[in-house]
Amino acid sequence: MHTLVFLSMRQVLQCQSAACQALPLLPRELFPLLFKVAFMDKKTVVLRELVHTWPFPLLSFQQLLQECAHCSRALLQERLSTESMQAVILGLTARLHTPESEAGTQPLCRKHALRVLDMTGLLDDGVEQDPGTMSMWDCTAAVARTCIAQQQGRNLEHGPAPVPVEVRVDLRVNRASYAFLREALQSSLGSPLRLCCRDLRAEDLPMRNTVALLQLLDAGCLRRVDLRFNNLGLRGLSVIIPHVARFQHLASLRLHYVHGDSRQPSVDGEDNFRYFLAQMGRFTCLRELSMGSSLLSGRLDQLLSTLQSPLESLELAFCALMPEDLRFLARSSHAAHLKKLDLSGNDLSGSQLMPFQGLLQAARATLLHLELTECQLADAQLLATLPTLTQCASLRYLGLYGNPLSIAGLKELLRDSVVQAELRTVVHPFPVDCYEGLPWPPPASVLLEASINEEKFARVEAELHQLLLASGRAHVLWTTDIYGRLAADYFSL
């Protein structure tokens, strides 16, 4: 539903040339809604002029394109229109070509000038490409081209300095885009268009390139560093980690495949691990740590004891955790602060089960998001854990995909979870009853790859739906879809 004000703004923008002429006469309080309407309806001429004459110091996509009182549509949860994004960048370019001496003479800029364009928070779904929409990388590339072009233009011009603008973005970089992005960051140094990275995601990037990129980033802006598929090992990480540790405001650090190199003498491996721990102790604002696919067996206490503040999000997927690791975590100061916990790929079915239950007990007051994919939890382990699990009263998301649970186990979970009023999403496995000829206990690889009886599973889905209706829980999503972007990012919790 749209309000009368929204519909009026949409009508005003029907004739774009007239709307542009009317902008100086409109109250600046209408500009935020005008921006959303123009962006949504691809009124690119008006959109460009809105950015060019923006009367406030800040233009934030997260503030302007979210659900609001006038329009329930949240554009940031969609892939954004290429036309609209290009119009914003053209408006920024026009703004940069307005000398500061002239900016004050413009009716809408007498008291304010745009200082920050915040383009962070764009959807990064990593799925099919649509030429009509922009991904996070597309946006980064467009802004980077603007940075490079702006610096090249400044080298040729000698007129009055333009009004400086800080552009905040989330950067995603790989081998193919590294050189281009490095040039853009270098061009923005000392330029009126200053590129500031909030979240950095580097994929399959050589160690020297990762270091070079980190050296170009503003220490005051960076919130997250996410290094994926780099297979650095402890040796490579010991080179990179001091460059990361200089970002004192860093709240999220996501590392993967942190383990000793079998080609190294063990003494070197231990030295590298101790150095890594010492650098981890430098972070003062760290709240999220992800160490997926890292060999941490029996070493979790060493890692977590070095941190200065309790974590609120901890991802330890496929880390070969041992009972003592889980016991330490349950006793640590981190447990009582955890909002998000991912233990996927760790076997919780044997001697780890009781320590895991103790960890749930310690985290029950704060836990919002629990991921237990492929933890070898069968009915017996799940039923033994339910009394503790259902004490997590604030839990919103539960991931159980890839566990050997039966129809009876899922039904028991559904009935017992009725007391969890905040629960909104359960990602559950295909019940073992729906497979044929499963070995027991079934390996996770079999559960993920074997075919199921579609007819039998359809009946299971219908039964679960009826149970949800009967318990007044139709609003809770029970699904087997692990690719539906249902898992929440830490910063959105």
In a domain, 472, yes or no: yes
Using a 10 angstrom Cβ sphere, with 0-12 exposed, 13-18 middle and 19 or more buried, the burial of residue 26 is: middle
In a domain, 67, yes or no: yes
pLDDT exceeds 90 at position 228: no
pTM over the 0.85 mark: yes
Q: Range of 447's domain?
A: 368-483
Q: Look at residues 43, 77, 96 and tell me which one is the last residue of a structural domain.
A: 96
Q: Based on the structure, what is the number of domains in the chain?
A: 2
In a domain, 272, yes or no: no
Residues 170 and 120: beta-carbon distance below 8 Å: yes
In a domain, 116, yes or no: no
In a domain, 307, yes or no: no
Q: Look at residues 26, 61, 96 and tell me which one is the last residue of a structural domain.
A: 96
Give me the pLDDT at residue 410, please.
98
In a domain, 351, yes or no: no
Rounded-to-integer distance, Cα 268 and Cα 275, Å? 11
User: Helices in 281-343 by DSSP H: which ranges?
Assistant: 300-305, 323-331
Identity of the amino acid at 60: S
In a domain, 19, yes or no: yes
Q: What is the pLDDT of residues 369-400, one digit of tens each?
A: 999 999 999 999 999 999 999 999 999 999 99
For 4, residues 6+ apart whose C-beta sits below 8 A from its C-beta are: none
Give me the pLDDT at residue 105, please.
45
In a domain, 323, yes or no: no
Kindly indicate the confidence band of residue 153, based on its pLDDT and cuts at 50, 70 and 90.
low
Q: Look at residues 54, 70, 96 and tell me which one is the last residue of a structural domain.
A: 96
Q: What is the pLDDT of residues 308-342, one digit of tens each?
A: 999 999 999 999 999 999 999 999 999 999 999 99
Q: What is the enclosing helix (H) or strand (E) of 156?
A: helix 136-156
Residues 160 and 101: beta-carbon distance below 8 Å: yes
